[in-house]
Amino acid sequence: MTREKGFYGIRIVIGSLLLTIFSMAIINNASSFFMQPICDTLGFTVAEFSAAYSMAALGAAAGAMLAGTLIQKMPIRVMMTIGAIGTALGFAGMSLATNMWHFYVLFFIADCSMALITNVPIATMLSNWYKDKRGTMTGLVFAGSGLGAMIFAPLTEYLIANVGWQTTAMINGGIILATALPVSLLVFYKSPADIGQKPFTYPEGSPEAIKAAAASNDNKEKAMSSDPDAGLTRKEAFASPAFWLLAAGLLFMGFMCSGVMVHIPTYLGQLGMNAGFVMALLAIASLVGTFASGYLMDKIGLVKVLLFCGISFSLGMVFLFFTKYTLVFAFLMSIFVGLSVCIAKVGPPMLTSSIFGMKDYSFLYGLNYTLFLIGAVIGPVACGIIYQANEDYGPVWLINIAIAAGMFIFSTLALKAGSTVLNRSTEQVANA
């Protein structure tokens, strides 16, 4: 399917954008504003309520694995409709909660349900609908969560201050339902074949098509990652070193992208600096970086983008060492870290399709994203322990440089091992 009129893939992109701008942004960013007012109203301690965010992370991990299985067993619209309703009810249900365990359950439900409408199904659809421009579209869609955060973070803060946290929870839940339910019910198709179309490719003979063809000749695995019938089964993937190398790479990636994020504002506060503007600049850099990284993956390849993100993040850690001397380094840090942690949105789905192909993509991506989330849960806790042991953030920044190096090394080795396994699998099929 070239750029002919009537290509349905653009509707998949628009519908996915609605989910990342509204549902993903509200769940991932707005929920943090509820902790203090809920603790003040119901008498919980911050430590007690913080455990709710751990339950949310567990829900997201469970939901990613569940989505990877359900998407192969039921129509994608059915799964996503269930997810849309569960996400909205889970968030709005906070308005009725009175005991701490209520919040634990509701946070788990909301994040588990959100996994059924965001990362796994969206990445699966984009991989199926776009043979070319897959990275660009993935970056564009997941950049929506950053855009939504810029809208709903201040809006939620304003609403809580003016109408209370219970009403705000109902409003945000209603927004999720009003935006996620219609597109889940009416817009999405898992693959072009469902409606008699083919994946997007560049027009034959165009400069883009010639470059893509040249890239395919140089990288056989790249072409295979676009064929819905090519690739490894989950059994073959588990038996390959590529899976375990990628598992390590994604654990490091999750650690890198979340470990320091909750500690940077605390560190800046210790220095007497205004963390708000610095973190806002970081968010803008991450938004730009999410789209740019997807676009660059299409143009220069995954390895070079991973290398850039690793170097950029490491420079950000170096700038944190010198931030105590001048605020200029804090601004530089926010740009370089923002341009690197964006790999969290685009890296896992693109690595999965490039290494394992599309044959069992949904299940493998669900599992791989769970591994990424495990790293994201471990990161902040480990950084906190390191800080407490040293009473200094310097060792934290240094260890995260090593984590960034591990992310690049293991992910690159996984790509190389995946290329070997995919080529071997293709030869076995051809000789059968």
Q: Within a 10 A sphere around the Cβ of 50, how many other Cβ atoms?
A: 12
Of the pLDDT bands very low, low, confident and very high (cuts 50, 70, 90), residue 218 is very low
Q: Which of 263, 211, 251, 215 is nearest to 392 (CA)?
A: 263
The C-alpha atoms of residue 392 and residue 315 are separated, in whole angstroms, by 19
Per DSSP, helices labelled H in 259-274 are 264-270
**Is the per-residue pLDDT at 270 higher than 90?**
no
Q: What percentage of the chain exceeds 70 in pLDDT?
A: 91
pLDDT reported for residue 227: 58
Which range scores top for mean pLDDT: 147-161, 212-226, 404-418? 404-418
**Model pLDDT, residue 274:** 75
C-alpha 310/C-alpha 411 separation (Å) is 11
pLDDT digits (tens, 9 = 90+) for 71-128: 989 999 999 999 999 999 999 999 999 999 999 999 999 999 999 999 899 999 998 9
**More confident of the two residues 45 and 205:** 45
Q: What is the pLDDT of residues 36-61, one digit of tens each?
A: 889 899 998 877 887 888 888 889 98
Number of CB atoms found within 10 A of residue 43's CB: 9
CB atoms within 10 A of CB 74: 11
Q: For the whole model, what pTM was predicted? A: 0.81
* Residues 125-140, mean pLDDT to the nearest whole number: 90
Q: Which two tokens stand for residue 425?
A: 């699998």
Residues 6+ apart with CB under 8 A from 281: 331, 334, 335, 338
Confidence of residue 226 (pLDDT cuts 50, 70, 90): low
Q: What is the pLDDT of residue 266?
A: 79
202: left (phi over 0), alpha (psi -120 to 50) or beta: beta
Asked if residue 379 has pLDDT above 50, the reply is yes
State the pLDDT confidence band at 219, using cuts at 50, 70 and 90.
very low
Spatial separation of the C-alpha atoms in residues 166 and 160, rounded to whole Å: 8
Both tokens assigned to 392 = 């200094």
pLDDT score recorded for residue 208: 67
Return the CATH number of the domain spanning residue range 9-195. Answer: 1.20.1250.20
- 219-431 shares the fold of 9-195: yes
Extract the runs of DSSP E, i.e. beta strands, from 176-310: none
What spatial distance separates the first Cα and last Cα of the chain, rounded to whole Å?
30
Tell me the C-alpha distance between 317 and 337, whole Å: 8
For the chain, the structural domain boundaries read: 9-195, 219-431
Looking at the domain covering 219-431, what would its CATH class be?
A: mainly alpha
User: Among 380, 289, 302, 383, which residue's Cα sits nearest to residue 337?
Assistant: 289
Tokens 């005991």 belong to: 99
Assigned token pair, 141: 């869609």
Residue 426: pLDDT band (50, 70, 90) is low
Contact assessment for residue 141 and residue 17, using Cβ atoms and an 8 Å cutoff: yes
In the Cβ-directed half-sphere of 183, how many Cα atoms lie within 13 Å?
23
Distance, in Å, from the CA atom of 140 to the CA atom of 287, rounded to the nearest integer, reads 9
Q: Can you tell me the mean pLDDT for 146-168?
A: 89
Digit-coded pLDDT (tens) for 2-30: 444 689 999 999 999 999 999 998 998 78
Question: What CA–CA distances, in Å, run from 399 to 243, 325, 386?
Answer: 25, 21, 9
Residues 315-334: b if buried by 16+ CB within 10 A, e if exposed = bbbbbbeebbeeeebbbbbb
Q: Which two tokens stand for residue 319?
A: 């700038």
pLDDT grade, residue 381 (50/70/90)? confident
Q: Is residue 403 pLDDT above 90, yes or no?
A: yes
